[in-house]
Amino acid sequence: MTQKIKFTKMHGAGNDYIYVNTMIYPISNPEELAVRWSAPHTGIGSDGLVLIGSSDSADFSMHIYNADGSEALMCGNASRCIGKYVYEKGLTQKKVVTLETLSGIKELQLTVKRRKVTEVTVDMGMPSVGEIALELEAGGKHYTGTVISMGNPHLVLFVEDLTQTDISKIGPLLEHHPLFPGRTNVEFAQVINDREIRMRVWERGSGITQACGTGACATAVAAIVNGKSGRLVKVTMDGGPLSIRWDQESNHVYMTGEAVNVFEGTIEA
């Protein structure tokens, strides 16, 4: 028996997901639906499926399923979109919203103008810095990367020229490298100056995407620990920029950017 589900497609810096309020439309097979709905020609088309639910420990909960059906621990861009969704849908009147994720509770600070959320700042918590200069071999070539966790794993590689970097070839090799048994996200970063970085991402489970919020945070942290930038930096991705600040006192990373409604619709589950 099929069920009709109302959804909203949203994006943060071009990182687009399908959002479903499971408090109204419960879903029992999100892995399967993420694959089917994310397909660009036969489905809605997206980087994955995000389920918004209730929580015993926060205002709302978030579960994310990548385009390949695997479950993600955290997504900064999706978090910002949820802040906009719950406020503009009238699910809350709070301008500071807590969100339960698989990598802990995140705080969303909403900037509201004329009852519309124009920008969201997410407290991404404290990063975990692993090896700063990890040497890897993949496809017969050697790479040096910085290992950062933002609640999910990242490998940040600094390159001289992004236009000369074959992300579609290198990304999957590093994502599935034996050093990362659970796979990893891979960021390719070109430092413009100490306040701006150009970055492209190969996301674990999704491939090349327009943006990755946790990836932007990981890139900023990697740049700081490698002495390549200050603690406030603009990370510009294919889908647009995010402002990342790593606070020295609290050790928390704050990510600020827009969230955009694309369209709404109904689809059969």
The CA distance from 107 to 125, in Å, is 9
The residues with which 101 forms a beta bridge, in sequence order, are: 104
Distance set, CA 25 to CA 5, 81, 97, 184 (Å): 6, 18, 22, 31
Residue 91 carries which DSSP code?
S
Render 161-188 in DSSP notation, one character per residue.
-GGG--HHHHHHHHHT-TT-TT--EEEE
Cβ proximity of 23 and 89 under 8 Å: no
The residues with which 88 forms a beta bridge, in sequence order, are: none
217 flagged as catalytic: no
Choose the catalytic residue: 44, 174, 212, 235: 212
Choose the catalytic residue: 13, 52, 75, 97: 75
212 flagged as catalytic: yes
Q: Which residues are catalytic?
A: 75, 212
